[in-house]
Each structure stands twice: as structure tokens, then as C-alpha cells.
Homo-oligomer: A and B are copies of this chain.
Amino acid sequence: MLVPMKPLIHPSIDTITVEGVLHALSDPVRVAIYADMAGAGCAQTCSTFLQVIDRSIPKSTLSQHFRTLREAGLIRSERQGVEMLNTTRCAEIEQRFPGLLPAIMNAHRVQLAEKARPARRKTTAGKARAD
């Protein structure tokens, strides 16, 4: 027995796709993770985000989220002892897709800010129209 773990996959910058990036960031947990990592100045471990995100999340699920971010090219993960240090690859991506990540992060902040200030009275906000 004792089957070794698969090596971590980091796509080269040239094979990163817009679709892949958008898909990776189209999940609430993953944008939250990525936004936090982009905000932090230094590398962070996976378990750090269990505190950042309110929802309690199984660690296997968290691990999959990190894998998705990694294989989309958004982050780089490196084993450091027993834990995993994660950093964003924002500089590389900025070079290839200028302005993409800043715009997404900004939109994410806008949305967070709105959620913090809920329930404006006397508006029709929040209703979908069927027409």
C-alpha cells in the first residue's frame, strides 16, 4: 500500500484561460478565499480561511476549492512543513489579463459593502421582473 499523493498542478501563465479564472471565482467561497489572500500581504495556509468564512466548511471541500483555484492558475501552493502556504499569482495574471482581477475584486467589495448595509426602505430593490 501507501500510495503517494499526486503532485500539485500549477498551469503555466500561458495556459491560464479567462473562462477558467471566471469559473474559479464564480463560487462564493472561492472569491472570498481569493479576496482574502489578495488582501493579505503574505502567504497564508488553507486553514486560515476557516476563520475568515462564516460558514463552517468541511476540510475536504476546502481542499477542493484550493485545488480549483490552483489549477485555474489563480494561486500558487507550496508545502511548508505540515501546512500549505498559498499566494496569489496576481502579478502574472495582471500581465496577461490587465485589469481583470482588480475589477473582479472591486466588484466583490462593492457587493460586500451592500450586504453590510441591507434593507433600504421604500425601494423595489430585490424583485425580479417577469416580462
CB 8 Å contact bits of A84-105 with B (1 = contact, 0 = none) = 0000000000001111101110
Contact with A10, one of B11, B111, B124, B129 (Cβ below 8 angstroms):
B129
Q: Known contacts A106-B97, A106-B99: does B17 contact A124 (CB below 8 Å)?
A: no
- Apart from A96-B110, A97-B110, what 18 extra A-B contacts exist at CB < 8 Å? A7-B130, A8-B130, A10-B129, A12-B128, A12-B129, A14-B114, A17-B111, A19-B25, A19-B26, A19-B28, A22-B104, A26-B26, A97-B107, A98-B106, A99-B99, A100-B107, A102-B103, A103-B104
Interface set of A (CB-CB < 8 Å, partner B): 7-12, 14-15, 17-23, 25-28, 31, 96-100, 102-104, 106-108, 110-111, 114, 123-131
12 interchain pairs (CB within 8 A)? A9-B128, A10-B128, A10-B130, A12-B124, A21-B107, A22-B23, A22-B26, A97-B103, A97-B107, A99-B99, A100-B104, A102-B103
